[in-house]
C-alpha cells in the first residue's frame, strides 16, 4: 500500500497538466502568469547533501545585528517564567504584532515572526515588513535574524510590502525552515509592478540566510501553510483581498518547485490546515464542512461537518493511533478526528477562543491559550485531557506577567512545547489601547505538579 501511494504521488509531480485537464489540477488564477522579468530566479530544491551547514557564516542583514535581547526571570508559585518584549527594529511601525505559529526546530531553537502592520497606501511611511526571530535557550537570547523585504530582493518603494507571516513556520526534510508572507491589510492591497502576491520563504538555520522562493499563488494572500516532510509537500490556503473573500486550497511540491493542485475558489475560511500521518490535508470548506485533500489522487472531497457549526482554526499533530485534535471557532470547540473512519467526535467546549493547540510529548494532554481578539485582559494557560476532554487552568499567565512587570498580554496565536515537555513557548501580543504593538516572548517552565 505504501509503495502504491508513493508511486502515485510521484506521478502527480510530473503530470500536473494532465490532471488539470481532468479538473483536479491547476485552476484559476493560473492564467495570471507574471512576465518573465517578475519571476524569481530559480532556486534549487532542498537536497540534504547540498545544504550549507557552515555555522561560521551569517547572512543576517547588518541593520538587524543589534536587534537582540536577553530574558528576565520571574516566579509565580511553582511556575518559573522567562520573558522579554521582542526587540523591535524601528519604533515607527503601524502596529508591531505576532500573528502566526512558531516552531521549535530540530536544533532546539525557537523561531517566530513579528510584522510591522504597514501597507503601501496607508498613513505610515513604510510599505510593510516582517522580521524573523530566533530564540536560543542555551544562550538565553532572542534576536532578529532576517526580514522579508531584504529576502525579497526586488521590492520597489511605494508598492505593497509583506507585513505579516501568519502561516506556521515549518521545518523541511533537510532542516531548512519554510514560511509564507501575508499582506499587512487587505484594504490597501494593490497588485502592481513587482508586487503580484505574497512570498514563499526559506531559512537556513546554519548560515542564517533567509531567501525568497517567489510568489506561488498570484494576486491572493496566503494566511496558512502546512508542510508534510515525508512527501516533501507544502499545503496552503489563499484568499482574495476583496469582500466577499474567495478562498482556495493549494499544494506545492518542494522538489519540482511547482504548485501541483489548486482548488476552485469558494467562500470559506482560510485560517488553518491540519495534516494526518499519511499526508492528507484537512481545511475548511463552505459553511461548517471539513475538506480533505488526498495527495495520491490529487483530489479534494468533503469529509464531514463540524456538528457545532464552527470552522477549523487549529490542530495537533497525529498521535500513535492516527487521530488528531481539531479546534474550531464560532463556536469554540475541540473535536477528535479519526482519519481512517473519516469521523469527527465532539470532545469539549473551550472556555474562550483559541487558535492553536499543542500536544505534550506523552500525548496525554494538549495545551492552549486564548487569542487576543476579544480584548479581555485575562490570559490563561489551559490543559486539555486528550481522552476525556476535561479542561483545567494551569496558570493565570496574564496576571503572572503583569506582576513580572509587563503590560497586560491580550492573547496569543501560538504555543509550542519543548521535546522534554517541560517548557512552553508562548508569544502573546500586548500594548495599549487595543492589545497590540508590544509582542512578548514567554517561556513557561512547568513544575512537576503541572506535568501530565
So what's the pLDDT on residue 93? 93
Which residues form the domain of 218? Answer: 2-23+55-450
pTM exceeds 0.95:
no
Burial (0-12, 13-18, 19+ Cβ within 10 Å), 422 = middle
So what's the pLDDT on residue 373? 63
Q: What are phi and psi of 210, to 5 degrees?
A: -100, 125
With H, G, I as helix, E, B as strand and everything else as coil, classify residue 109. coil
3-state SS of 378-390 is CCCEEEEECCCCC
So what's the pLDDT on residue 125? 86
Given a cut of 70, whether residue 216 has pLDDT beyond it is: yes
Take residue 210 and report the three cell numbers written for it: 533567509
So what's the pLDDT on residue 25? 43
For residue 33, is it within any domain?
no
So what's the pLDDT on residue 29? 37
For residue 268, is it within any domain?
yes
What CA–CA distance (Å, rounded) separates 179 from 187? 23
For residue 39, is it within any domain?
no
Element (H, E) at 26: none
What CA–CA distance (Å, rounded) separates 183 from 223? 9
Q: With contact defined as beta carbons under 8 Å apart, do 428 and 439 qualify?
A: yes
What CA–CA distance (Å, rounded) separates 293 from 306? 17
Q: With contact defined as beta carbons under 8 Å apart, do 161 and 128 qualify?
A: yes
So what's the pLDDT on residue 375? 57
Q: What is the CATH number of the domain that holds 403?
A: 2.130.10.10
Name, in order, each residue with C-beta under 8 angstroms of 2's C-beta and a sequence gap of 6 or more. none
Residue 176's pLDDT band (cuts 50, 70, 90): very high
What CA–CA distance (Å, rounded) separates 21 from 265? 17
Residue 13's pLDDT band (cuts 50, 70, 90): very low
What CA–CA distance (Å, rounded) separates 73 from 444? 10
**Where do the H-state alpha helices sit in 89-227?**
148-152
Name, in order, each residue with C-beta under 8 angstroms of 13's C-beta and a sequence gap of 6 or more. 253, 255, 256, 258, 260
Number of domains within the chain = 1
For residue 354, is it within any domain?
yes
For residue 34, is it within any domain?
no
Residue range 386-410: average pLDDT?
94
For residue 30, is it within any domain?
no
Residue 424's Cβ-side half-sphere holds a number of Cα atoms within 13 Å equal to 30
Residue 42's pLDDT band (cuts 50, 70, 90): low
For residue 426, is it within any domain?
yes
For residue 94, is it within any domain?
yes
Q: How many CB atoms lie within 10 A of CB 411?
A: 24
Take residue 39 and report the three cell numbers written for it: 519571476
Amino acid at each position: 500500500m505504501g509503495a502504491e501511494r508513493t508511486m502515485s504521488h510521484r506521478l502527480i509531480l510530473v503530470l500536473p497538466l494532465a490532471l488539470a485537464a481532468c479538473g483536479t489540477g491547476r485552476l484559476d488564477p493560473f492564467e495570471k502568469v507574471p512576465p518573465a522579468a517578475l519571476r524569481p530566479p530559480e532556486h534549487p530544491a532542498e537536497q540534504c547533501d547540498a545544504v550549507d551547514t557552515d555555522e561560521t557564516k551569517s547572512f543576517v542583514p547588518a541593520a538587524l545585528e543589534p536587534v537582540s535581547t536577553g530574558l528576565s526571570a520571574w516566579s509565580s508559585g511553582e511556575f518559573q517564567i522567562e520573558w522579554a518584549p521582542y526587540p523591535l527594529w524601528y519604533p515607527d511601525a503601524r502596529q508591531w504584532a505576532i500573528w502566526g505559529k512558531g516552531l521549535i526546530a530540530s536544533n532546539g531553537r525557537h523561531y517566530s515572526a513579528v510584522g510591522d502592520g504597514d501597507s503601501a497606501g496607508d498613513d505610515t511611511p513604510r510599505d510593510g515588513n516582517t522580521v524573523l526571530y530566533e530564540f536560543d535557550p542555551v544562550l538565553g537570547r532572542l534576536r532578529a535574524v532576517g526580514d522579508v523585504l531584504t529576502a525579497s530582493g526586488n521590492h520597489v518603494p511605494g508598492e505593497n510590502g509583506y507585513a505579516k507571516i501568519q502561516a506556521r513556520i515549518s521545518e523541511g526534510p533537510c532542516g531548512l525552515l519554510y514560511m509564507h508572507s501575508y499582506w499587512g491589510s487587505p484594504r490597501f492591497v494593490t497588485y502592481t509592478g513587482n508586487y503580484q502576491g505574497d512570498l514563499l520563504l526559506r531559512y537556513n538555520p546554519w548560515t542564517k540566510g533567509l531567501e525568497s522562493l517567489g510568489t506561488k499563488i498570484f494576486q491572493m494572500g496566503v494566511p496558512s501553510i502546512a508542510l508534510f516532510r515525508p512527501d516533501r509537500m507544502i499545503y496552503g490556503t489563499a484568499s482574495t483581498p476583496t469582500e466577499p473573500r474567495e478562498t482556495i486550497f493549494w499544494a506545492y511540491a518542494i522538489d519540482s518547485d511547482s504548485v501541483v493542485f489548486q482548488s476552485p475558489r469558494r467562500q470559506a475560511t482560510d485560517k488553518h490546515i491540519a495534516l494526518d500521518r499519511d499526508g492528507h490535508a484537512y481545511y475548511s470548506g463552505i459553511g461548517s464542512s471539513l475538506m480533505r485533500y488526498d495527495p495520491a489522487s490529487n483530489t479534494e472531497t468533503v469529509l464531514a461537518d463540524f456538528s457545532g457549526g464552527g470552522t477549523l482554526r487549529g490542530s495537533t499533530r497525529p498521535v500513535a493511533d492516527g487521530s488528531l485534535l481539531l479546534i474550531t471557532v464560532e463556536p469554540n470547540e475541540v473535536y477528535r478526528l479519526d482519519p481512517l473512519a473519516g469521523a469527527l467526535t465532539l470532545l469539549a467546549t473551550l472556555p474562550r477562543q483559541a487558535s492553536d493547540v499543542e500536544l505534550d510529548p506523552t500525548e496525554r494532554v494538549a495545551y492552549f491559550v486564548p487569542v487576543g481578539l476579544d480584548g479581555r485582559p485575562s490570559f490563561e494557560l489551559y490543559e486539555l485531557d486528550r481522552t476525556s476532554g476535561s479542561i483545567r487552568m494551569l496558570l493565570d499567565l496574564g496576571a503572572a506577567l503583569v506582576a513580572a512587570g509587563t503590560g497586560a498580554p491580550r492573547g496569543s496565536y501560538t504555543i509550542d512545547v519543548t521535546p522534554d515537555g517541560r517548557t512552553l513557548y508562548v508569544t502573546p501580543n500586548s500594548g495599549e489601547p487595543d492589545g497590540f504593538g508590544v509582542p512578548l516572548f514567554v517561556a513557561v517552565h512547568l513544575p512537576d505538579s503541572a506535568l501530565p
